[in-house]
Structure 1
Amino acid sequence: MKLLTFSTLFPNAEKPNHGIFVETRLRYLLASGRAESRVVAPVPWFPSKHPRFGRYAGYAKVPKSETRSGMMVDHPRYVLPPKVGMTLAPFLLAQSVKSTIRRIIDSGYDFDLIDAHYFYPDGVAAIMLGRHFNKPVAITARGTDINLIPRFALPRKQILWAAQHAQGMITVCNALKEEMVGLGIDGARITPLRNGVDLERFQPVDRAVVRASLGMHSFTLLSVGLLEPRKAHDLIISALPSLPDVQLMIAGSGPERSKLEALTRRLNVEHRVKFLGALPQTELRNYYGAADAMVLASSREGWANVLLESMACGTPVVASNVWGTPEVVAAPEAGVLMAERTAQGVADAVKQLRANYPSHEATRRYAEKFSWDDTTQGQLHLFDRILMEHRS
């Protein structure tokens, strides 16, 4: 089958980790030999590469097209006006990529189905495009698009419209399906297909050697994610006064870095916290494998891939009990769920993990249950059904 994968959540040369979970799922699907895909991954238009625009200038540096893991990827630009951008985003997104999709079809790649990721604005725009090009659409819900954005009236209305007209819907966990049903979407049309983990990329390392090279000399926590309020790195930092023999390493970049650094100084723990910046997955694997625990204190998560990545490297996790996370951390060898999402809750969960610390081999075996095979087969089954119904 020929797919057109459509999402603003997709890596590019400028931001190689952006939406990497979408690329990974697609990579495994294509490896089955039963599907091929062209990728249209729009990026917001920005007028200048000048450094005075900070991180936004990076959008101007994204190439118009590139090849990633053998996949052809187009990055058309779309305008996202301030203040009204959220409301108009689906319409602007759909309009901006029509010429790119028409060019792909005219070049000989007349795809069968649009595989869209993230319900708003991407999924709504994908339905508009599907109607324009007479193609069926499957939309994958991934987290914030369902557990946050529907709080706004107009986006919620558009999400419900897209759900009504989608030929198939996927969620990355059962909790998101239940939330969609709560919004009024027919649960019989929703297929939960959890994310897997790349067991070849994320493997245990020689812990003693890597720990020494990375400067891990005491019980070490690793926190991975954007430096933004939702990821709640501040709760983990605030737990350190209750964990006097623990050091923390934070992998990620974002607008909260200076605020988090100030917090470490205020709590007098700056000597125990190291900010690593954004790391490629090849380098991140070493930190996963060498740390004693990976901590995720997020307020919202659909299916947090970092949890399984850490477990695949043999390192258990401490995580907030939100959305799909209990479906990932479901056994003692996986790690511990926090009783409460507070600094004290983080500290208590870390102490609980240390008191009953699993073997690294057991944690790795737990992660091995989450290969991509079942997810790939689930996609193929769903897409086959959609195409059969569309053709008939």
Structure 2
Amino acid sequence: MLRVLTLSTLFPDATRPTFGVFVERQVQALAARDGVAVRVVAPVGLPPWPLPRAARHRALAALPRHETWHGVDVTRPRFAAIPGTAGRFHAGRLAAALRPVLDAIWQEAPFDVIDASFFFPDGPAAVELGRRYGVPVSIKARGADVHLWGRARATARQVRDAAAAADGLLAVSAAMRDDMAAIGIDPARVRVHHTGVDATRFRPCDRDDAKAALGVTGPLVVSVGALIPRKGHDVVIAALTQLPGVTLAIVGEGPEQARLASLARRLGVADRVRWAGRVAHDALPGWLAAADVMALASASEGLANAWVEALACGTPLVVTDAGGAREVVTSAAAGRIAARAPAAFATAIGDLLASPPAPAAVCAAAARFSWAANAATLEAHLRALVDLHQPIRG
């Protein structure tokens, strides 16, 4: 039996049901494999003192300390995330909070390996705890965890040191591995570990029926992602001015919504922008399958799950050359890679609307992404780390 402790500050909860849902799916797929047992520790970072207008923090503080979440055993310890410190103390505070929690888990059921599914602050804490229990540690890079924390002055050294000390490293794409190399991590030690997609949920359907269910007629473009500057929703909104008759549905929530709505009004396209807000992951296929194009103008990515999910629904992409885009958009049927500019996005979207690829050809681009393949690769990776570690533990 391979006993895995998955450590991830990026994991869904009742207040954020889509937050890190891809980590949840990965854990479920791994736990479903014969001879593997998985326990999840999903720490919750909270300020050590009350903050004004902190309803979000109060909701997080009220989460259960332990629960079964969609069939997975999840422990949710709290750690102090001190505001105004640029994350400098996050990893140390996290490790300190986890010691008594993992001590109790270890006494109940020792684990063979720690799988840190987000690089910071999870990775540095996992390395310290791996030494405490004499087990190997794997750390996975997903995107912002390296792009942000791996370059920030206060935390970059911690990211590099954790990478050097970890027994194994994973990256969501080959491009992400290159980004890790750019900050001083040895790329030869990094294994590419692609995401998965559930093809029983994300699959093509009658597009007209799907649009009707959403109250949409005519061409539909969907953009999926948090309403933050990095996702580039403003680029797609501006592109709409050159795409008459096209409706844009933006799926996501975040602090940029008021600014984006103001932009849409100023450009005269507000009547063609739908704000879907936060959509449950199980409801996302309805939006993606209804769309003629999924467009996302990200400044940076690892490998966005929404890209693969759209393809599995038979919906081609228009995306920037960010992260693993070229590992996903591998054919003309899969879509277009465009410059991060409204005119470029309008041209690429218009091209796909004028000559839509066959849904079956689009789906083919997603065929190699599955949770079964993801879990098999992860299990093999973790077992290899445990096997290599045995002489040290013995």
TM tier, shorter chain? Answer: over 0.9
Distance in 1 (alpha carbons) for counterparts of 2:78 and 2:347: 46
Distance in 2 (alpha carbons) for counterparts of 1:225 and 1:370: 20
Structure 2 counterpart of 1:370, which letter? F
- Counterpart position of 2:347: 348
Task: Report if the CA contact (8 A) 1:175-1:323 is conserved.
Answer: yes
- Counterpart position of 2:206: 206
State the TM-score, normalized to the length of structure 1: 0.95
- Counterpart position of 1:19: 20
Alignment of 1:166-205 (within 5 A): 166-205=166-205
Alignment of 1:112-123 (within 5 A): 112-123=112-123
Moved over 6 A (4+): 47-51
Structure 1 counterpart of 2:201, which letter? R
Task: Report if the CA contact (8 A) 2:87-2:154 is conserved.
Answer: no
Distance in 1 (alpha carbons) for counterparts of 2:65 and 2:335: 42
State the TM-score, normalized to the length of structure 2: 0.95
Structure 2 counterpart of 1:36, which letter? A
Q: Which runs of 5+ in 1 are unaligned?
A: none
Q: CA deviation at 1:53?
A: 2.4
36-45 vs 376-385, which moves further: 376-385
Task: Report if the CA contact (8 A) 1:207-1:289 is conserved.
Answer: yes
Task: Report if the CA contact (8 A) 1:195-1:375 is conserved.
Answer: yes
Distance in 1 (alpha carbons) for counterparts of 2:116 and 2:286: 32
- Paired residue secondary structure (1:99): helix
Distance in 1 (alpha carbons) for counterparts of 2:66 and 2:225: 27
Q: CA deviation at 1:367?
A: 1.7
Q: CA deviation at 1:115?
A: 0.3
1:306 aligns with 2:281: no
1:93 aligns with 2:91: no
- Counterpart position of 1:234: 234
Task: Report if the CA contact (8 A) 2:219-2:353 is conserved.
Answer: no
More helix by share: 1
Alignment of 1:85-164 (within 5 A): 85-107=86-108, 109-164=109-164
* Deviation sequence 1:292-329 (CA, Å, 0-9, x none): 11111110100100011111111111111112111111
Structure 2 counterpart of 1:336, which letter? R
- Counterpart position of 1:2: 3
Structure 2 counterpart of 1:384, which letter? R
Alignment of 1:196-345 (within 5 A): 196-338=196-338, 340-345=339-344
Task: Report if the CA contact (8 A) 1:49-1:60 is conserved.
Answer: no
Total equivalences in the alignment = 390
Task: Report if the CA contact (8 A) 1:124-1:162 is conserved.
Answer: yes
Q: CA deviation at 1:168?
A: 0.5
Task: Report if the CA contact (8 A) 2:141-2:171 is conserved.
Answer: yes
- Counterpart position of 2:70: 69
1:40 aligns with 2:32: no
173-182 vs 91-100, which moves further: 173-182
Q: Which runs of 5+ in 2 are unaligned?
A: none
* Deviation sequence 1:43-98 (CA, Å, 0-9, x none): 12258999942444432232222212321101111111111151000001111111
41-50 vs 81-90, which moves further: 41-50
Identity across matched positions, percent: 39
**CA RMSD, 1 decimal:** 1.8
- Paired residue secondary structure (1:66): strand
Task: Report if the CA contact (8 A) 2:11-2:24 is conserved.
Answer: yes
